[in-house]
Every structure is written in structure tokens, then in C-alpha cells.
Structure 1
């Protein structure tokens, strides 16, 4: 019986931690664990056998870090290490029924927009692994411990495009129930289901007790079998050794709750060993299939989820060079920033989804579409509708988009259906389906319904449910084909009564050629809503559109108690549109905006608008002293954005983008100070040393800290990763630094953090040390004699600010 036939029908047991077992077998700090596949294959085989003997149905190859980036300093090639890892697993499992999962971990670099790794680079790292492993006849690909949904998508697509094997995918979450880059459990489920993984869930992160709310959320949203591989509780320091807080018996008690709730695959992560596997393999008879999911269909997503059920959704149409002279010119200038500003403006005015069209003869449409999608990633929270007539452009956008998008569009022509539906299936997208075919646009409602039915039938042949379709019955211009306008509405009503689809319209076409177009548009909008229109593609700031929608939601019983309608109209006298007062540097929010900016500069930082930031700073520098600009404008703006981050109004990509954008302002101020003082003074708020401890090659967290601290005005001495203890000591002496930040990601290297701190204390009596890393807790940090524990990059800024303000 194949693993896919067992999934969801019986409990499947994975093995436990590899790193924990390697440590127990004498793995030296700083050694590359994957090299042991070659140098100590006997140890690796024994670990696999121990897990099989404990009851593991699936063992995981020792290849978590087996990619070309992480192995760049290895004496062995990627192929040699993977060959050995798989050979060891096969040797261990040859007399058993256990299957082999090829383990794929993160590359070790951050994806754009936070880091520099783009989709293609990440994809190629994973493809290299998959191609080698596929030839060795493993049974499953396990993609685990991912914190960035974009990197996870690259890994999944690399597996699916270069292998026919099942894909299990797990992400790692923080205490706030989000990944480092801001993905929550529900979005993870939507995105991973859209690209067809076979099992999904959570690993590492936390102990089983701390994972309870996250697992609950996943089970309530996922139709796909769920996998959980928790740590053995939280790490702590006991008798000089790193230990975990939950033993195998107590661990199994919590896992029992998961199994009885419908978790289909159970395994262990950091701190677990064969004793844990032995305990929870006893839970097989208790497994119950998950029937708790209550996910709404019709949900597209980016950072934000937008359900399309029981509501009317505005799809903003303004990011389209056709009819937009300013946007057309910016596209020609290869500038995506104006599109970003249009995106924010439309969201502020009520758009929940944004249509993106880059069709312009003078530019490379495919490249520009990719750049805009990348620019929007993690910055603009509205889901995207990809608008193009070229399948290649659509696929490029869908590949790079870390969410569930809408394709605009497919029509009833055979060529269109056969080119667009495969893309919709592969990437799990929704599709705007236009009611015309080789015969043109039908004149009557009944003829349009026939085209719609053809589209629905063909979509099902490609495995696309009708729930993924948004039927556009096409409105013609009232000025030229007046009698056809009502046929569109009739078609909408009949289609909604017969099929489980949604409907949409590019509505503004109805008024073309008539005076007072806004009056026609909003009147027809109201009529279409009464016939069953679900979404509308329009400029949300157009006169009367939001008024009509708010009123309709009350009358249609969508807005219970008219709460949103009243709020909307109570705010009306304040301001109708975004207005900026440059004298007091404030921005009033629109009546539909989610965020109110106290500081004028914050808006431009969130938009990544370097030009406006430079202009703003140059204006100020003519009026006030440079340090006043820093203290009264730049730092307060960053602090406001930091507060938004802490409140979860924005997430790490937006925080980093804002910090990088303000760098241009700091450069202007620095140059002014240097010119005023003949180069003898700068605006540094203090010097800080950062280092990833010896033996640890993961520097993602440290690099995020560096970006934020530098853009808060601190001088950062970055010692890099895998930093020997004596180099930290030498740097403290050389640069006379009193604040040191240390990072460790791996359980196998966190002990070196303690050793480094001890050596610092031995040599200095006035050094303050702050620490961070995925395996650390505040309690653990205090036990290893750190002065401060920073749970994330933003916390490091708070720590630095407090330290230097005391000084």
C-alpha cells in the first residue's frame, strides 16, 4: 500500500531528531552534520535503525543542510553527500517496511524583499537536491523548518517539477503563531494546498504544548493530511548541558490529543529520540480522521486573506498602463514605485484585491510583471489578480507570487482554455472566465450562459472545481449596445442560480462614450449587485462606488446592524481622501484605511518610496539642524513603524523595507554633518559587535538585526558567521565596543554561545551581551549569563536604544 493511500486513513509515524542523536554520539561543535554520512556512516545507519526499531514508518535522510550554499565549505560534493545519506538510510531500512523521506531544509539565505535571494536562485538550490535524490529512489520528499512561504513555494515547485514523489511540507512558527516573515497557519494551508502538497503542517518551532493553538488552527483549515513534528518542549540548561523540558511520556500525552483531533502524521524534532517515537507509535489505534475543517471556499490570499463568500469584493483596476499616462511613463522608465503607490492608494480607498496589468508594447511585459510581483511581495497585503493575454506572463507572475492569486483571464476559445486552465491547476489560482468564444461576445443572456457552461465543463476536465471560477458575463457599452446591458445582468442571475461559481464584471465599460460616466457606473453597479454580482473590477475611488457598496451591504444583510455603514458615514466629514499636511508632518487616514500614520515620513517608508524620503529630508535640512532631523523625524518614524510591527499591523518584510528605505535619509544627514564639521563628527548612536557563534553557519537572524540597527543609526561591526571565540575577544579590544550581540540557530551550537559569553566575562567586566536565535528562550539566555534576550530583530533595536540611552 503506497504512502498516499495510507495518508488520512491511519496514523503514520516519522522518526525524531537527527541533530539530537548526533550530539549524543559525539558530534563536534562546528562540524558539518551531513559530512558524517560519509565519514561515520555507521553512526548514521545506527540512528536510522534505532528509529525504525522504535516504530518509525518513515525515516528521514541526514540531508537537512545538504544544499550547495550550506555545503560551500565542505570537502565533499553535494552529490557525494546525498548519495551517502540515501545509501545509509537504505541500508538501515533494508529489512523493514520503513520508507525513506529525503529531507530538505532552508537554503540558509533570506528571500527578497528581506534578503537578496530571488525565487530562481532558491528554486535552483532545491532542484539540485531533488534531481540527485530522485535518481536514488527515495520514497518521499520532506520540506521542513521553513519560515518563509516564498522559499517554501520554491522548494515545493522544485520537487513537483523534477519528481513524481509525494511532498510533505512543514513550516516553523513563533510564539505569536506566525512564521518569522509573517505567515499565519491559515495562509500556510491555503498556499500549500493551492500547489498540491500531500501533507502539510508544523515542525520544530516549539514544544507540543505551545503548538496546540497552531495545530488547532491548521486542522480547522486544512483538507490535506496534517503533519506535526514538535520539539521536546523548550530548551534549558541543566548541569552544563542543553536539555529539553518534556520527557517522552509527557510528550506523548500531548501528541495523543493531536492524534485524536485528526493529525495524520506524527514525528519528533529537536530534543526527541527513539524513546519518544516508541511512545507515540503506541497511539496508532487512537487516530481519528480530521473532519473539523471549516475553511471557506473562495479565499485568495497574500499576507491578507480575502474571502469571496457572503460579501462584495472590490478589485482595483488602476495598475494598468492603458488609460493611465503617469503609470505608462513610469513603466517605460522601468520604475515600479508608482505602481506601489497606486496599490496603497487603492487599498486605502477600499480595494481588497489588486488587478496587475503590465501590457505595454515598449517594455518587456514578462520581466516587468515579475518585478512588480516581487516588489509587492511582503509589502502590499492585498491579493493580486494577474491580468495578461499572454500565458507566459501569467505563469511568470504566478511562480513568483507567494499567495493564491486570480488569473485575468480565460475565455471560451479552445486555445485560451487549453493554455490557461493548466496554469490555474498547477498554481491553484482562481480564474476570471469571460463569456465569449470563437463566435465573439454573445448577444443574449442564454447564449452567454452556454459559453459559461462550456468554461465550467472544461475547467473540471483539468481538475479545476467551479468554485475557482469567477464568471464575467461581459458588459457592453450602453452608448452603443444599450439593449445588451440588461442581458448581462440576466445572465449573472441565472448562472448564480445554477452553479457554485462567483461572478465579476469590468464594470466601467458600461459608461464609455456617455457624459457623467460616474453616475452610470454607480447606478449599474447597484443594479448588478441586486442580480448577484460578487466582485467588481473598478477604480475604488470613483465617485459613488464605495457609497453604493456600503449601502448595499446594509440592505443585503451583509453588514449586520449597519455597523460598517455607520462608521463609514461618521468619518465622512473628517476627510474623503488622503491628505498631507507638510507643516505638522501628519497624515490623516482615509475613511477606509486600516493604518493611521502619526508621522508624515512613515507612510513613505512603508511604501518604500526612496525619492519622497530624499525630497522630504532635503527640505528639512535647509531649515533645521541635522541631528534634529534624526531625533525629531527619522527615529520617530522608525519607532512608529516598529510599533506597527509589534501590534502585528505589519510584518517583517515591511519592517525591513522601511528600515532600508530610511537609509537614504541618514546618508543625507551624515553628509551634512561631515561638511559642517570637516569630517570630524558623525551621527552614530553607538558601536555594536554582531556575530553568529562558532560552529553555526546560519546568519539569517543576525543579518536582519544588522539591517535594523544600522538604519537606526548604529555602527555595526559584523564579524560574520561561525566566528571563533578569540575573534570576538579581539574585536571587542580593537574597536572598544561595549555592546555585543550573539546569534545561534542550531541546538548543536548554542553551547558555544555560553562558552563565548564566559570568555567575554573572563576578559572584560563592562560588556553587555544580548543574544537571540530560534533555539533560545529568555530563561535559557539568562542561564548562560546573557544580559538580554531578543526574541526578534526589532527587540534588538529596543535593547540597543535602552543601553545607549542609559550611557
Structure 2
């Protein structure tokens, strides 16, 4: 069955399935307790006759009698070696029934669906059956049915959403035929494993199911509320295949209490509620199907949603993401960076802290949990899967899979039993080409990060261009806008005064012009500023006003969280008042005011050149330097007695948190302007001796260089020769350059947990090459503990500390 045939079928009419197989064959003598498939093959005329009756009743699709013909079920009867022969023969029976009817003048097209169901074995971590084993079990059965030309597949009578996922993947990885999925729901409108109708729809539709619905367990009257919910959430056809009422015993024979005419009237209600593919399950005879066709066939095809739902899920519940709804928080704490206790647990395969972090973040208001296990000394893929399994059972909120390794993201998505969020997909070649198809395959949402192989976008227009390129490609591959959340890409306002405005415009553009949800990490906006929490909270309020959908943050920060709830309140979002009152009542914000004396930085008798550097007066510095030269001061004297003492003072103020990143950058740039002017004069008359040679680089895979650039600037200002290799630098190039120039120091920077391991590669390569240079590391995600772990010679927390570290390692007088 081609995709075009499927589309034509579901758009042209209400589609009719067949009725029951088991209960009808039992009426014809099939004993209870036998292998149904074996009995059918021993009595083929019974099956062929039944299916011919269903065709005459009006069925468009026949379920081939392969229901439990998988390896695990057949093993119960000692028939596992016959799996190929049995599946192929069972498909042939349905094909034979169609041919026999064609001989009698049948002209309409009848399709054969290969029937797949649960194996009866419990999946890990509840049972012992591994997810991949189950996929292989289904693939094996599917492959044999394909040999006989099956038209499509039905995965039916499912109670586990995870097993549905395994079966859908098995079909998708084996062929391109349509696949329908139906689950069985209890009276509480949940499956045995606790999945509700909307969660089943969201997960299976986004994984590529062509129709989804429910079958068995109840009559059509009890199915009505489930169908109504599914229609609300689904943009694909809804299937309803109910039992013929409730079963009861008559003369020791099970019978169902709903006659064909009443059954048909109840199925009509299901069609009115949104089911466009209907049939019958246990107790439904050809007469039941005939009446359904008679009553329903002229009905208008139910409409479905025009777009998919913007939502994430666990296995049991759905988190709707509304553009103008409740602001959402992605908890960021499950990340080993800087957390020694968590690192130790992950190395020892214990997850008490992981579970505690998950619980605390959810209690504090996290709607989604980001999971990142990137660290030294572990198999990241193996640990990621173990953490996912832990959180599958302990967490009530959806997960955000955070890794820069494509294979780790795919492995996590494969076993995750709901709909997860990928953090993240950029225009970097590896992610752009591989991760978008992976998001489509597993039905995941993803964070669109507007970066490219060139690095950070140079301006707002380039950022928008990257967003549109990734969006266009995602749409080409069948993803929808509702699957994408754009990262506003927050830069630090201390380094770029327009950073906040550019991010706010990105948020507005994505929501208003493109119809895309947005996300951002907040802390970067305030890096290097005093009282950062106020900057973060204020920026958050502005961003929510522009339409920010969610943020990655620590939900234990009350000021931030309470600001988010207050902003929702002021924007009159639904039930925001109740949420705000509950939030602040349980989590009051306590402000502690700690006044700091902001020193002018001027020492008594300091020169105008020193004052200009301390104040960051870049526009004035050359004028002042020239005036000082005119007064008879030598270039070297200006550097040694004015510029260097000034930058030392700035460093002291920075360490005391009296000065922050903007002042540090401004002062360093001012000093650089002066040094650049004076340096040629030194070579003309004064022999300036460099303190040492430093090779600096941002490691391979990392395109962030703000911190590295500042270190380069500071080291140059202090008289070091610095060879700046830039960002995303291969490890071999770093080591080769250090060898070539006989460097005293190799400085490495990384901003992401996913690239920090490149530092270890440089350390090992340098040691193997016999490089004498000391290796120092730094960056937002780097810690002193990590430096010790990988064998680096030192760690610096910032640019000023890097200067001190280099001097200490080179045994220079500070």
C-alpha cells in the first residue's frame, strides 16, 4: 500500500475494519488454550470463510490472523522455529479470502494489515526484556509478513506505550508501509501502564503512526470519552474498534450483550465524536460490521486538528506548551559540572542524588528536567541511559536530553517512553544533518540553537537567517513548527550592551512572525555584573512580556521563579493569580541587602593615564599617553609605572566584586589601546623583553570565545607574547603550535560540558609529545577539580586569575 493510496483511502470515506477473530473462531470450534495461529493453519477454511464474510459486510481492511505469531509467544507452544512459515501462511489466508471474493465479482480494493500485539514479557526496568530485544522481536515478525505482500500494519490491543513505541520503530525501520496503533484503556481512561489518551496520541502521532485509537476491553458506549479526547489532540485519523458490549456466560459459552443494530448506533456516536476508522473487536460478528457500514457509511468524515499539539510527555502524562500560556521552567541541575558528589555517584552507578535533584526541582516548580551527564571518567552513553531509566520511573515531568554527541541523544530518545526535548540542534554540520532526522524519527521536540560552524551570529539578521534555515529543513523532513523551540541565544550584556535587546527581538520575531515557541538560558545575560539575580529576574520579566515560552534555570532561585509567576499574573494568563499566590506563599523571597563601597579606583597622586585605565576611558587614553610622552616620560616607564599598576588595581577591584565584567573589559581594552600605541616605540629604542609565550585556544567543537579573548588581552597587557589560535581549534593544532614556538604555557577554554573533554585530549597529546609547556584551563563549565582529573597544571576562574596563574607557573614575581 503506497502512501498515496493510504491518503486517498482515509480522505475519501470513513474506513471500515473487520470484526473479531478469536470469538468468531471459537464459535466454529477453536478450543480455548490452543495456539490460535496453529489452529487457524490447521483449519484454513474457517479463517478464509470468516474473512470473506467480513469483506461482504463492507470491511475495507482485514486483520491478518498473525496476532500473537511473534517469537516470544510462539515459544510458549514450542513453535518458535516455525515463525517464518506461520506468518507467511497466515498472510496468505487473508490474501486468499480477497481473491475468492474477487472471483465472485468484488471490485473494490481490500487491504491486508499485518497484526502485531504485545509479547507478554515485561520491559526493563520493570522486567528483564530489553527495549532493543523487543524491537528485534517485532522486526522479525514484520519481515516475514512483508515477504507475502502485506499492505499495512496494525499494532493492537496494547497496554504499554513503550511497547507501542518499540513496534512502531520496528515497522519504520523495516519498511515504509502505513502503521496504525490501538491501545486498550480501562474505565479510568488509562492503560494498564497508566498512559492517558492524549499522551498516547502525542507520542505515537509524532513518531509517525498513521492512525491511532483504541480497541477491545469495552463496548462502544464506554469508548466515547476516550475518542473525544483523542480527537482533541490528534491531527491523524482516530480508530475505534470496540467489543460488542459486555461479555457474559450463557450455557457456559461467552456471549456479548450488544446486538448488531444497537452496536451500529453506538459506533455511529464514535464516528460523530471523531473516529474515522471503525470496526469491531471481541464479539463483533460480520452482522455487526454490516450494520455499522449501513449506519455510518454516508456520514461526513470527522475533521481532525490542522496542526500537531505542541507538547512534551512522560509515559503517563502530557505537558502542553502554549504560546500564551503558563511560563515553563526547564530545571538545569542534573549536570555533574562542578558537583563532586554527583560526579562520584555517576562513576559508581548510584543515582540517589539524581533522583533527589529531580524531586527537588519538580517541587520547586520545574516543568521539564534537563539531563546532562557529560563528565570525565565515564561512558557517557551508558550513564545517560541509566539515568533515563531512573527518571522514567521516579520523575513526573518530561525530560530534556542534553548532550553534544549525536549517538548519545539518539540512544536516550530511543528508550525514552514519552516525547522528549532535544537540547539542542544548531546549524553546525554534525547536528544539522543528523539530529533533525533523529528528531523526526523519535517524534521529539528540539531546541533550535541559532549557531553555525562560523560561530555566534555576527548580528541579529544572521541569527534570524540561521533560524529560518533550520526551520525550513525541519519542515522539509516532516516536522512541524510545533516541534521547535528557538533558543534566544542570550549573550552577556556586560560585553555587548545590545545583548538583551537583540534577544528580546529574537523572541518577538519567533513568536509573532514565525509562530515558534522560545527558550533561553538566563544566567549568561548577567555574567560579570553585581547582584546578578536582579538582572536575571528583570530580563526574564521583559522576555516573558515579549513571548518567551520557557527558560532553562535553577528552580530553587526564588527571586527568579517568583518573578516568572508574577509576570504571568500581570499578563493575565489563565489561573496565573492562583498560581502566583500559591507560589509566593510557599516560597517567599528574602532580600538581603549588602552594600558595597564602590571605590573610585584612584590612588592619591595617581597619574591621568592610570585613572583613564581604571575608569576605562578608551577614547581619552591616547591623548593622555601623548601628553605624558611630551612631558619626557619614556614608553617603557609609562607601561611599567602607570599602565601595569592600573590594570593590577582593576584586577583587585574585580576580585573583590567591586568591579565586574563590563569594567574589566573596558579597562583592558583601554590598556590595549595604549600598549598598541607605545609598542613600536619600544622596538625603536628600548628592547622590550616578553615575559613568556602563551598559546591560547578554545577547544575543538566549542565556538565560544569571549572568556578566551579577555584572557588573551590581559596576558598581552602584562607583557606576554600570546599566540591566539581562535575557537574550535583541533587538539593537534594546539600541540603542534606549542612545539613550534616552544611555548611556556598552553591556555585552553571551553564553555560547554560537551566540549570540555577535548581539554583532556590536549593534555594527553602534549604529554605524549614531550611538550614542556604548562597547561592551564578555564571556562564557564570548568572547575579546579576537573583540572586535577585531567592532569592540567592549573585552573583559573577568570582573566585576572589567569594572569596570576601564568606568572605563578612561570615563577615570575607578581
Cα offset for 1:573?
Answer: 7.0
1:456-502 deviations in Å (ceiling 9; x for gaps): 22222222223322111211234444443432223322333311111
Q: Judge conservation of contact 2:227–2:273 (CA < 8 Å) in 1.
A: no
Partners of 2:15 and 2:275 lie apart in 1 by 9
In our comparison, the structure showing a higher alpha carbon Rg is 2
| Alignment partner, residue 58 of structure 1 | 61
Q: Calculate the TM-score normalised by the size of structure 1.
A: 0.69
Q: Judge conservation of contact 1:316–1:355 (CA < 8 Å) in 2.
A: yes
| Alignment partner, residue 374 of structure 1 | 389
Cα offset for 1:293?
Answer: 4.3
Secondary structure at 1:179 match in 2:
coil
Cα offset for 1:221?
Answer: 1.9
Q: Relative contact order, CA 8 A, sep 6+: which one is greater?
A: 1
1:304-357 deviations in Å (ceiling 9; x for gaps): 322221221100111111232222221111223321221111100100011111
Q: Judge conservation of contact 2:223–2:270 (CA < 8 Å) in 1.
A: no
Partners of 1:527 and 1:268 lie apart in 2 by 55
| Alignment partner, residue 88 of structure 1 | 93
| Alignment partner, residue 327 of structure 2 | 312
Q: Judge conservation of contact 2:228–2:274 (CA < 8 Å) in 1.
A: no
1:202-246 deviations in Å (ceiling 9; x for gaps): 000201111111112112221101111101111112232211111
Change (3 A) 1:465 1:296: closer
Partners of 1:58 and 1:297 lie apart in 2 by 28
1:72 to 2:75 alignment: yes
| Alignment partner, residue 9 of structure 1 | 12
| Alignment partner, residue 596 of structure 2 | none
1:177 to 2:189 alignment: yes
| Alignment partner, residue 758 of structure 1 | none
| Alignment partner, residue 804 of structure 1 | none
RMSD, matched Cα: 2.2
Change (3 A) 1:233 1:355: same
| Alignment partner, residue 700 of structure 2 | none
Q: Judge conservation of contact 1:365–1:393 (CA < 8 Å) in 2.
A: yes
Partners of 1:285 and 1:299 lie apart in 2 by 34
Cα offset for 1:519?
Answer: 3.1
Secondary structure at 2:264 match in 1:
helix
Partners of 1:140 and 1:346 lie apart in 2 by 44
Q: Which moved more, 1:109-118 or 1:242-251?
A: 109-118
Alignment of 1:157-196 (within 5 A): 157-196=169-208
Q: Judge conservation of contact 1:264–1:287 (CA < 8 Å) in 2.
A: no
Alignment of 1:640-659 (within 5 A): none
| Alignment partner, residue 665 of structure 1 | none
Partners of 2:307 and 2:192 lie apart in 1 by 24
Q: Which moved more, 1:129-138 or 1:70-79?
A: 70-79
Partners of 2:589 and 2:467 lie apart in 1 by 45
Alignment of 1:207-246 (within 5 A): 207-246=219-258
Q: Which moved more, 1:481-490 or 1:467-476?
A: 481-490
Secondary structure at 1:377 match in 2:
helix
Partners of 2:211 and 2:590 lie apart in 1 by 49
Q: Judge conservation of contact 2:233–2:309 (CA < 8 Å) in 1.
A: no
Secondary structure at 1:544 match in 2:
helix
Alignment of 1:106-125 (within 5 A): 106-125=118-137
Secondary structure at 1:145 match in 2:
strand
Alignment of 1:341-380 (within 5 A): 341-380=356-395
Partners of 1:458 and 1:292 lie apart in 2 by 25
- 5+ residue gaps, structure 1, are 577-807
| Alignment partner, residue 276 of structure 2 | 264
1:227-272 deviations in Å (ceiling 9; x for gaps): 1110111111223221111111110110112223442111111111
Q: Judge conservation of contact 1:37–1:84 (CA < 8 Å) in 2.
A: no
Partners of 1:489 and 1:561 lie apart in 2 by 22
Q: Judge conservation of contact 1:172–1:205 (CA < 8 Å) in 2.
A: yes
Partners of 2:254 and 2:41 lie apart in 1 by 27
Pick from 518, 529, 534 the counterpart of residue 503 of structure 1: 518
Partners of 1:443 and 1:36 lie apart in 2 by 70
Cα offset for 1:532?
Answer: 2.5
Q: Judge conservation of contact 2:555–2:561 (CA < 8 Å) in 1.
A: yes
Change (3 A) 1:71 1:92: same
Alignment of 1:614-763 (within 5 A): none
Q: Judge conservation of contact 1:259–1:283 (CA < 8 Å) in 2.
A: no
Aligned length: 576
Partners of 1:377 and 1:561 lie apart in 2 by 29
| Alignment partner, residue 588 of structure 1 | none
Q: Judge conservation of contact 1:448–1:473 (CA < 8 Å) in 2.
A: no
Q: Judge conservation of contact 1:199–1:225 (CA < 8 Å) in 2.
A: yes
Q: Calculate the TM-score normalised by the size of structure 2.
A: 0.68
